[in-house]
Amino acid sequence: MPRAAGRAELVESRIGECGCPEEHYLFDGIDLIIHFEPNGDVDAFWDTGDDCADWTTHEGQSRFNGRLAAFAWAASLTGGAER
């Protein structure tokens, strides 16, 4: 797996409230939820407790690519860039 800037640990794989698969990671110690829509969109939610952000990519033709894009996004947040 290409390395993102941060470190991701899978906490849980589950089915979200709308029926889509979801993965909960700790990304550099911060909660990161990656949500896989049936149309290939990938939503990511990042929550430090004090601050939260969400983001969507349409590049999730494969779950693998969507996951990498979400990690890259989270890395840009934890790196303090473009908030």
Nearer to Zn ion, 18 or 81 (CB): 18
**Min. distance of Cβ 68 from Zn ion in angstroms?**
19
Where do runs of H (alpha helix) occur along the chain?
63-78
- What tokens were used for 50? 């004090």
Inter-residue contact 66 to 34 (CB < 8 Å): yes
20 belongs to the binding site for Zn ion (CB under 5 A): yes
**Min. distance of Cβ 36 from Zn ion in angstroms?**
8
* Residue whose CB is nearest to Zn ion in the complex, by number: 20
Q: Residue from 1, 2, 15, 18 that binds Zn ion (CB under 5 A)?
A: 18
Nearer to Zn ion, 31 or 37 (CB): 37
The CA angle 49-55-58, to the nearest 5 degrees, is: 155
57 belongs to the binding site for Zn ion (CB under 5 A): no
